[in-house]
Structure 1
Amino acid sequence: MTNGFDWSRVFHAYGTATDTGQVLAGPLADAREHLWSAILHQGTVWPATPEVLRIVGGRLREAPALGLAFVRDVASSVNAGDEAATLRAQVAAAPTAEWTAAYVAADEDDQVDLWDDDTGNLVLLGAALDCWDLLPELLDPVAEFLEDPDPQVRTHAWAAAARLLNHPGTASRRPELLTRLARLAAAAESVEERASLVMDLGGLGGDPAPFLADESPLVRCAAAMSPPLAEHPAAQQELLRMAATPTDFDALKGLPRFEGEPPRWTLIAVLSRRPVAPSALYEPALAALPHAFRLAPCPDLGPYLEILFPTGWPEQATAEQRGLARELAARDDLWAPTNGNRRITLRGLGLPEDRETWRALS
């Protein structure tokens, strides 16, 4: 037991959570691997997660950046929004307690068999709702770090607070924290911190428009990506400028919000949802070619292909379609026979998978 909690009655991604109590009995800084593998596994929370979230929230001072990142990631995974009551009724109607008791008492083979019953998924849903219910009480512990002397800790704190403020139970705190956030963003000396705070400001419904005039193109782009500026013409121009050299935006890769992925993927995804003419995406699509087909579906080129070829392969190609086809076909590095990412991406978009067809269009 840890703090009187019986870990043998709950489970995580790898089985009964008796090892979780042992991990949390030690320094929080040593728990990183366990937290992001067993307790929060690829974005899924488990019956052990709510109690771990409660404990981590009470121990933030031990390892602030780690603890705040964990709170942020759990909060990002359990956003129930307006559906919480409906989902709670589904869980309440199922024998989740009995299923959990059977699961933790079973051997590994029997545990696998238990997942044939849909009750297991409702157990996980119940764990997510328990985490959701905890979020409002975590705001005060997180808020203690919003003006921490360490910029990395401040960035993690605001990223966590932004997720917590999406909960209806924290709505009354939003105006005050938005005022603080705007002030801190304007005063931040580091480009990385300023960009992160500006994205948090926009994500919470604040006004990032003043930062479209920032001296840093990274901060201007961060402001332009914010939902409040989705219809702002100057914001679209900032996104297009950055998308012409997308790896420049990867300078922000250390920010926790990108979770280790290249920030340009977020930039491209946002730009592809904005009201810009398809022809305006031609240059960004060319800039994405050196990074194309490294994953499937391709986050660098795929969104542009979907817009520039909206109905699949054209009978009468536009100038942009012909130009992109020519440049795509010309790159030997994109046509290796073993590149399954290319085939999966193109097939998913209803586009031809062979080089000669692309070459013929140009």
Structure 2
Amino acid sequence: MDTAPDILRTTDWSRTFHAYGPGTDAPKHLAALRSGQDSKVADALGYLYSAILHQGTVYPATPPAVLHVAGLLSDPAADRPVHGVFDEAMGAGAAPLRQHLLRFLADVAWSVAEVCGGYSDAELDALADPGERRGELDAFLERMARSEDGDADDGEEVWEDPLLETVMNTVLRDLRRAAPVLLEAVRPLLTHRDRGVRQRAVTAAGALSRMGGGLALDLSGAADYAESRDEGAAIVLALAESGGDTAEFLTHQDPAIRACAALAPSLTDDPAATTELRTALLDPAAADAWFADRPGYFDGHVRFSMVKALVERSESEDAPDLLPVFQALAAVSSAFTAERDLQGLLSLALGRERRSAAAPVEYPTELQRAYLRALVDSDGLWDPGTADFTFLLKGLGLPPVRESMRSLAESS
């Protein structure tokens, strides 16, 4: 892999663009990561998350930027503590730049894996092939740059051109191809002297393995260094993302480690893993408080990931067994988190995976009424100033007013 400065010089940035325009401004922003000036480094980290990875979307400027970031991981300048985009999630105070860079690599990897995780390498190659329009590609990229700048009069047409989809698929393909190189840059940090760096290196390695289609991942060295529940959980989660077998951890003495092991896709059909998720969610507040330094695998509250996995592994026939979980979640949920906390389980209880969501619920069963009573009893859900929960209820054919819900829950 080229060194970080080499990538800035050798990349033709005029053939790239990002969320806000042509990629020609990337060298200036990326070079600032090595400036040693706090404000410039902070701005550069912000640029990574606003332009290069914008709300989970990657662009043609993303692959060279990611390679540049990976090249900085071994730079002594990455030891410098800086404030970044996710200071609260990174722990109190400033964290070494290296930790911020590792988090960025993991976030890119998760975004790519979410979009193309189901595609084989051959399928991605086919999607990235412009076919008969290969000769138009350079001109198209130039038009993209002009339209992003606001100088082109065909901006709308550019964004509607089918060639744009080909370009974006090329980005996904290139990032997957880069996964082995990126993983190799992260590997030495799995045994870094700094615990925070080790943990984020483990998380990034797991995410990159997943982005690369299940690249082999040896975490034995990291396991030897693990000093806390947080590190141990990060290792189990990375093993899960790489496609490894985490079954041995289902009997671990620590409930947090058991639950992390249960999240592994390899255990989707394992009843013991499903039971572990249900058990953990009977006390969702405790699960959310498991970690002092929450592994980056978790997007928000720890319970969100467990609920998602449990819903994916369940059917409407499981609704009686899931009722205690739903009641526990409803008690801690809010209008802002109800979609991730409750929607999936409530859909199962209402049989909405097989019925039109537009059909109103008029004659709920006794079991369904129990689910509805859990909603009625939760003060945190009924925030009059927040419409999120109202939209959720309407989408499931339920009354968006608490008293109307109470009447439905008490009907026979």
> With structure 2 as the length reference, what TM-score do the two structures score?
0.77
% identity of equivalent residues? 32
Distance 1:185 1:220, change over 3 A: farther
Partner of 1:44: 57
Aligned mates of 1:307, 1:105 — CA distance in 2: 48
Letter in 1 for 2:13: W
Partner of 1:258: 298
Q: What is the aligned counterpart of 2:209 among 160, 165, 178? A: 165
> Which runs of structure 2 are paired with 1:77-156 in the superposition (5 Å)?
77-79=111-113, 80=116, 81-82=119-120, 83-90=123-130, 93=133, 95-106=136-147, 107-108=149-150, 110=152, 112-113=155-156, 114-156=158-200
Distance 1:332 1:204, change over 3 A: closer
Secondary structure of 1:144's partner? helix
Distance 1:342 1:51, change over 3 A: same
Equivalenced residue count is: 354
Distance 1:4 1:236, change over 3 A: closer
Structure 1 residue 167, shift from structure 2 partner = 5.8
Aligned mates of 1:76, 1:322 — CA distance in 2: 38
Partner of 2:67: 54
> Which runs of structure 2 are paired with 1:5-20 in the superposition (5 Å)?
5-20=11-26
Secondary structure of 1:96's partner? helix
Distance 1:117 1:296, change over 3 A: farther
Aligned mates of 2:225, 2:319 — CA distance in 1: 37
Range 81-90 or range 109-118, more displaced: 109-118
> Which runs of structure 2 are paired with 1:1-362 in the superposition (5 Å)?
2-28=8-34, 29-30=41-42, 31-61=44-74, 62=78, 63-79=97-113, 80=116, 81-82=119-120, 83-90=123-130, 93=133, 95-106=136-147, 107-108=149-150, 110=152, 112-113=155-156, 114-166=158-210, 171=215, 174=216, 177-178=217-218, 180-181=219-220, 184-185=222-223, 188-251=226-289, 252=291, 254-259=294-299, 261-275=300-314, 277-295=318-336, 298-311=339-352, 313=361, 315=363, 317-318=365-366, 320-360=367-407, 361-362=409-410
Cα RMSD over matched residues?
2.7
Structure 1 residue 306, shift from structure 2 partner = 0.9
Aligned mates of 1:50, 1:168 — CA distance in 2: 14
Aligned mates of 1:236, 1:169 — CA distance in 2: 25
Secondary structure of 2:340's partner? coil
Aligned mates of 1:168, 1:354 — CA distance in 2: 47
Deviations 1:131-162 (A, max 9, x none): 22222222211111122122222222222222
Structure 1 residue 275, shift from structure 2 partner = 4.2
Q: Which ranges of structure 1 fall in alignment gaps of 5 or more residues?
A: none
Structure 1 residue 170, shift from structure 2 partner = 7.3
Aligned mates of 2:194, 2:330 — CA distance in 1: 38
Range 84-93 or range 235-244, more displaced: 84-93
Aligned mates of 1:24, 1:242 — CA distance in 2: 42
2:18/2:51 contact within 8 Å kept: yes
Aligned mates of 1:59, 1:187 — CA distance in 2: 23
> With structure 1 as the length reference, what TM-score do the two structures score?
0.87
Distance 1:256 1:270, change over 3 A: same
Aligned mates of 2:280, 2:256 — CA distance in 1: 8
Q: Which ranges of structure 2 fall in alignment gaps of 5 or more residues?
A: 1-6, 35-40, 79-96, 353-359
Aligned mates of 1:23, 1:15 — CA distance in 2: 14
Letter in 1 for 2:172: A
